Structure formats: C-alpha cells, structure tokens
Amino acid sequence: MKPNSNFIIIAGQNSVGKTTTYNTLMEEAKTFLLSDNPHLFSDLLFMLNNLKIDDKEGGFNHYHDWSFLKEGGHSHANREPILPFTIISNKIIDAMFHRKLIGCERSPYSQDVFSLF
C-alpha cells in the first residue's frame, strides 16, 4: 500500500468514535513511518455549505432555536446565528453526501478508495 495514494473513509453517526479512530490511525501511521498528509472531509463542513444554500433558498429545510416558526422558512436578515440548527428534511443530508462523494471522486487519488463503515 502506497501511503500517498490511498483513501481511508471513516463514516458514522455522531459520537461513535470517528475522531478516536482517525487519531489511532494517525498514530499507527507514524509507527510505520508512513507520511501523514491527510485530506479531511468533514460532514459538518459539507452540511454547513448546504445549510447556506438552503438559507439562500428561504431556509425551508431547517430551523434554528431562534426561529419563530419551525417550518415555512426563515431568514438571517438580522444576522442571526447559523448554529445551532435542526434539519427537518432529507434534502440537506442528501446534498451533503452528494457533495462529499463528488469531492472524493475529484481527488487525484480517487483510483484507490478504501472505506470503513
């Protein structure tokens, strides 16, 4: 296995050990003198990008604790915070995974993809 041409995808729900797994893998890589040059994809970053898109379209697929109504859209016209938020449809989640997989596919190392679920 060439250390600079492989992907390891760590995916899962919140609080199931993704960060611990990542840190363990990085420690193991160091013991075998493998280069540590990770290119990280974060669910939260992809989700926040799609949240911003949803906000531009009226915010119909999520709400915030400051939202007066929990459905029917909202606006950040008064610079209300983005976090925290609650997703109320699959549109944001579907778009998040789509963008993440497109990002992996466009990587220069997309020929060698290994996944852990």
Q: By residue range, what is the domain housing residue 110?
A: 7-116
More confident residue, 48 or 36: 48
Residues 55, 57: Cα–Cα separation, whole Å: 5
Tell me the angle at which helices 43-56 and 90-105 cross, rounded to the nearest 10 degrees.
120
Residues 99, 55: Cα–Cα separation, whole Å: 17
pLDDT in tens, 61-107: 999 989 877 778 898 988 999 888 899 989 998 888 888 777 777 66
Q: Six-digit token pair at 8?
A: 């390891």
pLDDT in tens, 18-35: 888 888 888 887 787 666
Query: How many domains does the chain contain in total?
Result: 1
Q: Is residue 18 part of a domain?
A: yes
What is the signed CA dihedral for 32, 35, 19, 27, rounded to 10 degrees?
30
Q: Is residue 90 part of a domain?
A: yes
Write the single-letter amino acid at 95: A
Averaging pLDDT over each range in 5-9, 43-47, 54-58, which range is the top one? 54-58
Length of the chain measured in residues: 117
Q: Is residue 22 part of a domain?
A: yes
Q: Is residue 1 part of a domain?
A: no
Q: Is residue 2 part of a domain?
A: no
- Prediction pTM value: 0.57
Q: What is the pLDDT of residue 70?
A: 73
